C-alpha cells in the first residue's frame, strides 16, 4: 500500500497543480495560484519517498508563505481589485458647448474643450438651444447630463 501511495503521490500533486490553475483562471482572485506554485516542488519531493504528512505540511507552509509574503506585491503590480475611474469622470463640472439643441424628450449633443462630441440631456428637462455654454452635472453611461450656465441664460433675456 505504501509503495502504491509513493508511486501515485507525484500525480496527486500534478492534479493539485492543474485544479489550482483552473480555479485561478475562473476566479482571478489570486488565491489558488499560490497552491499551484507550492505544488510544483512537491511533485519532485514526492518522488523521493518523503512521508505524506511531511508533504502536506510543506505544501501548507509554502502556500501560506507565498500568499502572505508575495500576494500584496502581485496585487499591487497587477492592480487587481481596483477599478480606475478613467477619463470620463474628469468631465464632471467641465464647461461644454451645446452643438445640437436639447429638449425634454430629445437628446442633443455637446462638445467638450478637447473637441469630442457627446450625447447630452438636460438635467432638469429644460430646453437648451444650440451654441449655449453648459456645465456637466454628471455622466450616465455615455450620456452627459448638463445644465445651462446661468450667466448666459440671463444675458439672452
* Cα dihedral across residues 48, 51, 56, 57: positive or negative: negative
pLDDT number for residue 77: 78
> What mean pLDDT value characterizes the chain?
84
pLDDT higher at 132 or 154: 132
Q: What is the mean pLDDT of residues 73-89?
A: 65
**Confidence class of residue 157 from pLDDT cuts 50, 70 and 90?**
very low
What pLDDT shows up at residue 104? Answer: 84
Band (pLDDT 50/70/90 cuts) for residue 154 is very low
- Predicted confidence at residue 88, as pLDDT, reads 64
40-52: per-residue pLDDT in tens? Answer: 999 999 888 888 8
pLDDT tens-digit readout, 1-40: 666 666 788 899 999 999 999 998 888 777 888 889 999 9
Q: In the chain, what percentage of residues exceed pLDDT 90?
A: 39
Which of the 8 DSSP states describes residue 138?
A: E
Give the 3-state secondary structure of residue 131: coil
Confidence of residue 102 (pLDDT cuts 50, 70, 90): very high
* CA-closest candidate to residue 147, choices 98, 113, 80: 98
Strands 143-148 and 117-122: parallel
- What are the cell numbers at 50? 518523503
Amino acid at each position: 500500500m505504501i509503495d502504491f501511495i509513493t508511486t501515485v503521490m507525484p500525480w496527486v500533486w500534478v492534479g493539485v497543480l492543474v485544479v489550482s490553475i483552473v480555479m485561478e483562471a475562473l476566479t482571478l482572485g489570486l488565491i489558488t495560484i499560490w497552491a499551484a506554485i507550492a505544488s510544483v516542488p512537491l511533485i519532485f519531493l514526492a518522488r523521493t519517498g518523503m512521508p505524506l504528512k511531511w508533504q502536506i505540511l510543506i505544501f501548507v507552509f509554502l502556500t501560506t508563505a507565498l500568499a502572505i509574503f508575495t500576494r500584496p506585491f502581485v496585487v499591487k503590480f497587477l492592480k487587481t481589485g481596483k477599478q480606475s475611474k478613467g477619463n470620463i469622470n474628469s468631465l464632471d463640472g467641465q464647461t461644454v458647448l451645446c452643438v445640437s439643441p436639447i429638449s425634454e424628450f430629445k437628446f442633443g449633443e455637446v462638445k467638450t474643450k478637447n473637441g469630442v462630441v457627446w450625447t447630452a440631456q438636460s438635467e432638469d428637462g429644460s430646453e437648451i438651444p444650440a451654441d449655449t455654454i453648459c456645465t456637466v452635472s454628471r455622466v450616465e453611461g455615455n450620456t452627459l447630463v448638463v445644465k445651462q450656465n446661468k450667466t448666459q441664460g440671463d444675458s439672452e433675456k
